Amino acid sequence: MLQSSLFQIEADTEWQDLGNGVSRQIFGYDGQIMLVKARFEAEAIGVLHEHYHSQVTYVESGLFEMTIGDEKKMLKKGDGFYAPPHVMHGCVCLEPGILIDVFSPHREDFLTS
């Protein structure tokens, strides 16, 4: 059965460098959910994209201009968003920070090992 470990310790978890000022850690998951920590440097861009997964995100730190569909909003630490399946979404990082992205079902495309 597809499952992560029960506990994820930040210091023991690999940061994957995605280039262009974005890196990520893969946290807890099974077949129907996955939590991913995405770190953005200032001016890094989360390019507009869409996927069939439902996505909910929490802004752990930083300042982001977030676009979902044709809506745009500034999100700071403590805020969050919901990106429905197949709705285009993306962000521009204005102050460096971390997004906690959670997907259902899990992102099989993130498990490449």
**What residue ranges bind a second copy (CB under 8 A)?**
3-11, 27-30, 32-35, 37, 54-58, 60, 66, 68-69, 71, 73, 75, 78-84, 100, 102-105
CB closer to a second copy, 63 vs 75: 75
State how beta strands 33-40 and 22-30 pair. Answer: antiparallel
Q: Least CB distance from residue 48 to a second copy, whole Å?
A: 15
Q: Least CB distance from residue 2 to a second copy, whole Å?
A: 11
Compute the half-sphere exposure of residue 69: CA atoms within 13 Å on the CB side of its CA.
8
Do residues 57 and 83 make contact, with C-beta atoms less than 8 angstroms apart? Answer: yes
Q: Least CB distance from residue 96 to a second copy, whole Å?
A: 15
d(CA 45, CA 65): 10
